[in-house]
Amino acid sequence: MDLTAILNGITDDMAARPDRGAVARYIPQLANVDPDQFAMSICLADGTQLSAGDAQVPFSIQSVSKVFSLALALGRVGDNLWTRVGREPSGQAFDSILLLEQEKGRPRNPFINAGAIVTTDTYLEGHSPAEALGGLMRFIREAADDDSIHIDEDVARSEIATGHRNFALAHYMQSHGNLRHAPELTLGTYFHQCAVAMNTDQLARAGRFLMNAPDMPRMVSDGRVRRINALMLTCGQYDGSGDFAYRVGLPGKSGVGGGILVIAPGKASIAVWSPGLNDYGNSHLGTIAVEVLARKTGWSIF
């Protein structure tokens, strides 16, 4: 299999497509990103790294960060996390409040916003927001083997200024006793976590710990890697998770900045980025690109 040719072919095809989705508009730092950009990077189990397109351009990883915060929170409290957040797909938009009322402030899963806010609240326990974020950045930098990865403070500030729905979710959960810190503290940490900037080369490297392949970084146990991947497959693209599993057949986690981290267990960690989003808030061309990659490589888990 000529993976370089496959990767370059996909990148050329994506560059030529007129349908690019719509960039997120809720903060200027995302609204002003050029929708014509596309990048894909792949880390293989033998350590080889391949990339094509704008693989050196940093972007806001946004909700892709929820994978790292979940790994960190599980490391801190283990299965106790599941007393506060569920493991079922929500079938609702990522920022929906609908089910929270019916389910007494316990979010469906750690990848929708409400569940990620509880997950952040968990790794914040016993720390200041700066210490907690320091722990998260240590985790991400070690996973990617790259100390230059940073938080974009302008993005974090804009998120705080516009994050009314997230404040609503946090206050609602606090009213049910499912938030241990003041909403401003937990959300300040959550918004900074969403504002981590990476390029696809860095993100693909950071995802290697989820591959369960020999010689890859072992940052969490094999069993926990399997469970995080299961959640990525069932919940990682919000109400588009079923469609993504059907089309791609691999666990993935998307972000509203247009990045998706996709894991081919035992084979590869893949990062794709194209800023235009589909109706679910997931990268439009990124989803198509990994669908084609999975078909051409035969990497679907099914």
Q: What are phi and psi of 205, to 5 degrees?
A: -65, -40
- Find out whether 166 is annotated in a ligand binding site: yes
Residues 6 or more apart whose Cβ sits within 8 Å of residue 186: 117, 120, 121, 124, 170, 179
Bridge partners of residue 253, in order along the sequence: 261
Decide whether 256 or 268 has the Cβ nearer to ligand DON. Answer: 256
Whole-number minimum distance, CB 5 to ligand DON, in Å? Answer: 31
Work out the angle at residue 240's Cα, subtended by the Cα atoms of residues 300 and 272, and round it to the nearest 5 degrees.
55
User: Minimum CB separation from ligand DON for residue 260, in Å?
Assistant: 9
246 is in an annotated binding site: no
Query: Is 123 one of the annotated binding-site residues?
Result: no
Catalytic center residues? 63, 66, 190, 238, 256
> Per the annotation, does 282 bind a ligand?
no
Strand order in the sheet with 49-53: 49-53, 39-44, 268-273, 259-264, 252-254
Identity of the residue, 40 or 235, whose beta carbon is nearer to ligand DON in the bound complex: 235
Q: In this structure, what DSSP letter does residue 110 have? A: T
Q: How far is the CB of 15 from ligand DON (least distance, A)?
A: 23
Minimum CB distance to ligand DON smaller for 29 or for 212: 29
Q: Which segments within the chain are labelled E, that is strand?
A: 39-44, 49-53, 59-60, 150-151, 196-198, 252-254, 259-264, 268-273
The reply, when asked if residue 159 is annotated as ligand binding, is yes
Footprint of ligand DON (CB under 6 A): 62-63, 94-95, 113, 159, 166, 194, 254-256, 281-282
Q: Least distance in Å: CB of 47 to ligand DON?
A: 30
Spatial distance between the Cα atoms of 271 and 211, rounded to a whole number of angstroms? 13
CB nearest ligand DON: which residue? Answer: 63
3-state secondary structure of 158: helix
Binding residues for substrate: 63, 113, 159, 166, 190, 238, 256
Binding residues: 63, 113, 159, 166, 190, 238, 256
